[in-house]
Amino acid sequence: MNISFASPSVPSSGALVVGVLEGGKLTPSATSLDKATDGALERAIAASSFSGKKGELLDIVAPAKLSNSRILLVGLGAPAKLSEKDLQDLGGSAAAQLLRCGEQKAAFLVDKLRGGKPAAERAANYAYGALLRSYRFDKYKTKEKPEKKPKLKEIKVLLEESAAAKRLYQKLEKIAEGVFTTRDLVSEPANIIYPKSLVAEAKKLSKLGRKEMEKLGMGALLGVAQGSAHEAQLLVMVWEGAPNAKDKAPVAFVGKGVTFDTGGISLKPAAGMEDMKWDMGGAGTVVGVMHALAARKAKVNAVGICGLVENMPSGTAQRPGDIVTSMSGQTIEVLNTDAEGRLVLADALWYTQEKFKPKLIVDLATLTGAIIISLGNEHAGLFSNDDKLSKQLTEAGEAVGEPIWRMPMGPEYDKLIDCDAADMKNISGGRAGGSITAAQFLQRFIKNGTPWAHLDIAGVAWSTKEKPTAAKGGTGFGVRLLEKFVADNYEK
């Protein structure tokens, strides 16, 4: 979709999108359109339940005395209460309505308003929300009827401070590139995205293959991959945006990248197994956030590490009861081969610390179904050994609309993965606290003194319903959160 910014000049064709304040009060642009249509806007509001509350939409089709196809009224509520996320949601909701109606082009009319954010900032966020909502994964639809294809190709955002709005939008557009990268990767089927092909999708990186990982002693990660015809890969991405910083230690992001998860010998039920193509959602997010940081030339040193495997049953597959030795030297009894993500992350986390000595680590993984039982599909689970890091991540998530909720950890939970045959087992053996014991397992591979946070995104990486800035499917959850986290706390 082409999004541009220009000075106010109402076009004579296409759709017009204007704001209405709380209580049905028209903005200056809406007032002008109301006069031009002999009061059509006021009459439409009076004849409906639309009152200008935040997020309300009212569609006026074929407005009188105008050649425009429609006027879409968007409820702004009270401008002083509109956050950046609210503005993005408004832009996304307007774009979704235009897409549903089959519009080809539209103009967003943005006015100066008392209270709240400047017009340029509001305009940039409207456009950002519209861009995010425009994403569609349709590359395999070869027989889709023309009338079902999206027709919206152009949005012009019209305001007096158009140059300032464009500058603000350019940064947001780069973040959207990262979000779309993640959505693409998560949406691809497993016959297209597997460990080696996912590496090929990432740019300016290095990778480790099976032989290199064997030399490093990554028995936990390699054990998961040994049943697949696709070789495991460790993807290493480096962004040096602050080469002259006194403290050159990077922030590190680590992602679970199980490109398809059958459960291995501990085979999953057939129903719903097709969804396991997005079990690489954590790795997809790490690739996306590294893309976003590089695209906007973030002044930070960052590394992204992804453990990439396919978990398959075969004659060479890992068996329940096998004992593997991780890169850290700790041994693990594998009681359930479907608890494989933590094995992948164990070696990836240790490698990250040994190789890069980061100032902090955030790992992301579609790790447990238990987190969905705890938090549903509304929040990701946060587990951490550091209060400051937890607070920074939580605040970033709230700001961009990707909420996370901190879960407990502690010695009593940790004891549940103690093992008679090895240093630890990969499941507790019971159903209670499954997401917590998984986090306790990961913490055993974090060196003392390293601030660490684990985000269990199993409930939020994929959505079965539309959201203001995302269609059904891969959400790209975590890219905007981590970009905001870096921008607010670690850029020099």
Which positions are catalytic?
Answer: 268, 342
Per-residue buried b or exposed e for 226-247, using 16+ beta carbons within 10 Å of the residue's own CB: bbbebbbbbbbbbbebbeebee
Specify the amino acid at residue 157.
V
Judge whether 408 and 440 are in contact, CB under 8 Å.
no
Other Cβ atoms within 10 Å of 59 Cβ, number? 16
Phi, psi for 325 (deg, rounded to 5): -110, 125
Place of tokens 């906007």: 296
Judge whether 465 and 381 are in contact, CB under 8 Å.
no
Strands (E), 288-408: 301-311, 322-325, 331-334, 360-365, 380-384, 404-406
Specify the amino acid at residue 449.
G
Distance CA 228, CA 46 (A): 64
Q: How far is CA 212 from CA 58, 207, 231, 307, in A?
A: 60, 9, 12, 13
Give the bridge partners for 306, in sequence order.
235, 255
Burial classification of residue 139, based on how many CB atoms lie within 10 Å of its CB (0-12 exposed, 13-18 middle, 19 or more buried): exposed
Strands (E), 164-213: 205-208
Strands (E), 62-149: 70-77, 105-109
Q: What residues contact 282, with CB distance under 8 A and at least 6 apart?
A: 254, 255, 256, 257, 306, 341, 363, 364, 365, 366, 367, 455, 457, 461, 478
Token pair recorded at residue 1: 């979709």
Distance CA 463, CA 125 (A): 23
3 state DSSP class of 424 = strand
Distance CA 368, CA 379 (A): 13
